[in-house]
A and B are shown apart, each in its own frame.
Chain A
Amino acid sequence: MGDSTKKWFSLNLGNSNTKPSGSCGCGNPSGGCGSHNSENADVNAIGEERHKDGFEQVFDVKMDRRSAFKKLTASLMVGAGAVTTSCSVIVGEETKEKAQIDWEEQFKGNYKLMSDEEKNGTVDRLVRSYQLRTGKTISLSSKNAEEDVLFGYAFNISKCQGYMDCVTACVEENNQDRSSQMEYIRIHEMKDGKGFNFNEADDNYYHEVPAEGHFYMGTQCFHCDNPPCVEVCPVQATWREDDGLVVVDYDWCVGCRYCMAACPYDGRRFNWSTPEVPEEEVNKNQHYLGNRMRKKGVVEKCTFCVQRSRAGKNPACVEACPTGARIFGNLLDPDSTIRWVLENKKVFRLKEDLGTEPKFWYFMD
């Protein structure tokens, strides 16, 4: 992979000049073409097309690309819509910009293989797009994995009381679809004396908790070190980051759901319809790989709240847990509390025999 500079299909078919940020035909990594003229002043010398106004650029872009993508009919249908809008003379500057962003987003590459500039480019576009659509500004991060960090999680079965505060915090933090009541976390109510018998456990109880004679066990994505879901993805839309987080590029996912079949832990969720989050409830502190708004037909999952954990905060579930049953930390830091738990408590993981190496341990007092 590393030997070729072309990691995926480049969009600049018409322009031979390769700007480092150039995922966009008009050479503008962020936002629309018309609105960044000052930035472009110094690159004007490279190609004459820089002098054209936004409309002409969009129009040219269309001609170059249409010839290139003839075969990609399905994609073209979306793209053609964007082009028609952007070519119409009557429509306003904003509509054109929106269409331009849609076009670039449709044909951008896989986030995993992007350079940092390209990551910033798509993040800027997404922020601008959200602004154009809702008038609200979000903070969207593309922060990479930190050196010397490997995230791990421990869950104290003796402590969990089954309040499900973590589930609520998770749904709100991660902008999960409210209409299908998507939840990453499941809390299984187990009978004492039955061992870890998931078959007889109830993960959708509604009665006063903790119930007599029961204990509680939470499951979510375990961020396996050898994740079967990553192996099976035909387009590498999901992968394990250097800090151990297993993440999904929602824009690259084709929605085949092979990863859901491959996950032994029920860690993945699919957007069967367009996810709905009331505007006032949207968490605007977002990460590209985390809680940004999803579309229909893509897979999503717990990311240990990448928008929080990469910044240094605890995931929302850890913060919300009133009992301290959830421990989160850096596995590579010998002084971290998670390391102390692994070294001093009797820990185990679910389905260890599958060789998936989850980074999510259970322990008891």
Chain B
Amino acid sequence: MRRLKVFGSLVKDSLDVITHGSKKYHIWMAFLTFVMLVGMYCYSVQLEHGLSVTGMTDRVSWGLYISNFTFLVGVAAAAVMLVMPTYVLKDIDFKQAVLIGEGIAVAALIMCLAFVIADMGGPSVLWHMIPGIGVFNFPNSMLTWDVLVLNGYLFLNISIPFYILFKHYQGKKSNSKVYIPGALLSVFWAVGIHLVTAFLYQGLQARPFWNNALLGPRFLASAFAAGPALIILVLAIIRTFTVFKIKNKTLKKIAMVVTVAAQINLIMLASELFKEFYAPTHHSESAYYLFFGLDGKTALLPWIWTSISLNVLATVTLTFHKLRNNSKVLYFACFILFVAIWIEKGFGLIVPGFIPGPYGKIVEYTPTGIEIGVTLGIWALGAFVFTMLAKTAIKIETGALRYRKKES
């Protein structure tokens, strides 16, 4: 009973927290709301006319939505890179960052689910996928695995920080015996969500571009580069705009994680390129299309070469201690790395899987305005959710928000 009361008070207090703030905060939230509204309008157009308002066709049947979904699963999985050192290896340097990391994971997962729903042809019959009510094709369909692991991960990433914050809100210490098993599970789970998402593509014998054993590991490497890179940027922003203290040491450790992951990612890229181009077979055509164009169709060339050059530049920059320890350079490197991997995991992975088609036909894919609108709307939703979560968490962690017994 008492817990319920505390919970009610927490909800009320956090509502109070997220509706009050500086002018900049309000402008930021208003901007996000506006973008979300635009996205919702675009989605309503899509609901009305069907997916024909997107650039997708029977040939390229997945596009921007699934690209972003794939990328964001990686971002969500990257929270593990902060969770493991903090909770499992007891590295206190990460302690400050881990709640933010988990907040990013929650926001990324919500965006993932939103992207999947936006991509559905029949969102009104999505209940067919709910186990018990509908028919859940488990374990045959990797998509059902993905639904399970994403929702499970979302639950883990909500419940662990919630438990800790809930305790801190009451001014108590959190009991590590309660959350350590969850944290440990979430470490495996994070690897799981990204591997399962990779298996979604990897398991299709119809698409040789995806059907290679390196896809899963490469997903992980790129995720552990892009995700923590985003966390560094977010922490930098939080450090500037709030009283939340994040030590330079923390950022440096996360930067180390980003660096190693980016290096491994590049090695795997090299291995993939070698396999595709040293002895090109019929199955290398998608790679040819991606990197050099096929039959004069070159829509992806600017994207992938931008991505590769940014990727290499960022990795090289991060590799040198001197450059990495300069925070301005670090932020820039993280930003370009994030963009590079977004292109690589999005456009660079999903679209060429469909090109050329099973019978060698090339239909190029360009997202339409509606599609981009929905995508931006979902990103805004993610940022919105994260801002709310982070604001409350920071207030509690800095001790500004505490439960007060109203009776006394």
> Do A and B share a direct contact in the complex (Cβ within 8 angstroms)?
yes
Binding site for B on A (CB under 8 A): 7-9, 69, 72, 74-75, 77-78, 106, 110, 112-113, 180, 186, 188, 198-201, 203, 219, 228, 231-237, 251-258, 260-266, 268-274, 295-299, 354-356
Q: Are B207 and A199 in contact (CB under 8 A)?
A: no
Contact of A9 with B121 at beta-carbon distance under 8 Å, contacts A199-B360, A233-B141, A254-B126 already known: no
Q: Are B50 and A273 in contact (CB under 8 A)?
A: yes
Which residues of B are found within 8 Å of A273, using beta-carbon distances?
A: 49-52
Q: Are A8 and B135 in contact (CB under 8 A)?
A: yes
What are the nearest 9 A-B pairs in CB distance? Answer: A255-B121, A297-B121, A264-B206, A199-B360, A272-B52, A9-B133, A296-B50, A273-B52, A273-B50
Q: Are A262 and B122 in contact (CB under 8 A)?
A: no
Which residues of B are found within 8 Å of A261, using beta-carbon distances?
A: 61-62, 201, 204, 206-207, 353-354
Q: Are A258 and B134 in contact (CB under 8 A)?
A: no
CA distance A297 to B118 in the complex (A): 12
Which of B58, B133, B203, B358 interacts with A269 by CB under 8 Å? B58
Which of A188, A270, A295, A298 interacts with B61 by CB under 8 Å? A270
Q: Are A298 and B147 in contact (CB under 8 A)?
A: no
Which residues of B are found within 8 Å of A298, using beta-carbon distances?
A: 121-122
Q: Are A254 and B122 in contact (CB under 8 A)?
A: yes
CA distance A355 to B136 in the complex (A): 25
A-B contact count (CB 8 A): 162
Which residues of A are found within 8 Å of B54, using beta-carbon distances?
A: 272
CA distance A143 to B126 in the complex (A): 28
Which residues of B are found within 8 Å of A295, using beta-carbon distances?
A: 122
Minimum C-beta distance from B212 to chain A (A): 15
B293 in contact (CB, < 8 A): no
B140 in contact (CB, < 8 A): yes
Main secondary structure of the interface of A (DSSP, over half): loop
Main secondary structure of the interface of B (DSSP, over half): loop
Contact of A235 with B129 at beta-carbon distance under 8 Å, contacts A266-B357, A266-B359, A273-B52 already known: yes
CA distance A158 to B123 in the complex (A): 46
Which of A72, A253, A258, A263 interacts with B143 by CB under 8 Å? A258
Q: 15 A-B pairs, CB-CB below 8 angstroms?
A: A74-B123, A113-B135, A203-B359, A219-B359, A231-B140, A232-B203, A234-B137, A251-B125, A254-B122, A255-B51, A271-B121, A273-B49, A297-B51, A297-B120, A299-B121
Which of B134, B141, B358, B360 interacts with A265 by CB under 8 Å? B358
Q: Are B61 and A74 in contact (CB under 8 A)?
A: no
Minimum C-beta distance from B68 to chain A (A): 15
**What is the chain B residue whose CB lies nearest that of A239?**
B137
**What is the chain A residue whose CB lies nearest that of B350?**
A261
Q: Are A235 and B206 in contact (CB under 8 A)?
A: no
Which residues of B are found within 8 Å of A203, using beta-carbon distances?
A: 359, 361
Which residues of B are found within 8 Å of A231, using beta-carbon distances?
A: 140-141
Which residues of A are found within 8 Å of B204, using beta-carbon distances?
A: 228, 232, 261-262
Q: Are A253 and B121 in contact (CB under 8 A)?
A: yes
Which residues of B are found within 8 Å of A112, using beta-carbon distances?
A: 135
Which residues of A are found within 8 Å of B126, using beta-carbon distances?
A: 74-75, 254
Contact of A237 with B128 at beta-carbon distance under 8 Å, contacts A257-B62, A297-B122 already known: yes
